[in-house]
Amino acid sequence: MSIDVETIRKIRDIRLEHIGLERIKERKIIEDLVKAIIEENPGSLTVEDIKWIMDLIDMDFYKGYHILPTKDPKARRFGMLFSEPNKRKILEENSLEDLNEFFIEIYWKENIDKADKFITKLKGVKEGFVSLLLYLKNREKYNILLPVTEKAVKKIFKEEITGTFKDRYLKFNKLVNKLKQTCNLKPQEIDIILTIIGKENT
């Protein structure tokens, strides 16, 4: 479960080239806006609220420019997670009641035991959306699990991550928190670093 010196150096280089204090600050501002929308409407989010949440959180800031979500996944913070087809699926193929239940159980109650139920039941809702809500609830405690970030963690720690969403997420989250502590990383840096490492040699 140790982190080798080469990985620590790689993370240092990624931070120098791709991140910076301004990007972290702008990401946090966006995240705070999304949290405000969720917390002002407990159990009563509208379709417009949920669309606004997905659009806002997919924004980024890089080298002095705000990057708005576009059809190109490379221009979105979370790649294909909130692509236009997937957003339509989430908003049009699920009832508003079920979507509000999802936010209540995952964001408000942090009920990871219910995650597999929602991933199976709700169209377009994937592991990334579940872990994103946990992250937004407590950014110091939780991290965002995407296929590419999971791949990076397996690469860094040379460990398998298997089982149900809960099993995989708890192990993933524990390892990422170790990485965060070892390298003194801010929450808003993690998905950038893991995405770059996860995409190497692919």
Q: What are phi and psi of 61, to 5 degrees?
A: -140, 125
Around Cβ 99, how many Cβ atoms within 10 Å? Answer: 20
pLDDT, tens digit, for every residue of 121-153?
999 999 999 999 999 999 999 999 999 999 999
Q: Whose CA is closest to 94, among 127, 47, 147, 43?
A: 47
Q: Whose CA is closest to 100, among 87, 89, 91?
A: 91
The kind and range of the H/E element at 64 are none
pLDDT, tens digit, for every residue of 61-77?
876 666 666 656 566 78
Residue 52 CA to its chain's centroid (Å): 16
pLDDT of residue 76: 79
Query: Mean pLDDT over all residues of the chain?
Result: 93
Domain chopping of the chain, boundaries: 5-199
pLDDT, tens digit, for every residue of 96-112?
999 999 999 999 999 99
**pTM higher than 0.85, yes or no?**
yes
126-164 exposure pattern, b = at least 16 Cβ within 10 A, e = fewer: bbbbbbbbbbbbebeebbbbbebbbbbbeebbeeebeee
pLDDT of residue 65: 63
At 186, list the tokens: 């801010």
Tell me how long the chain is: 202
Q: Whose CA is closest to 138, among 105, 108, 101?
A: 108
pLDDT of residue 62: 72
pLDDT of residue 71: 58
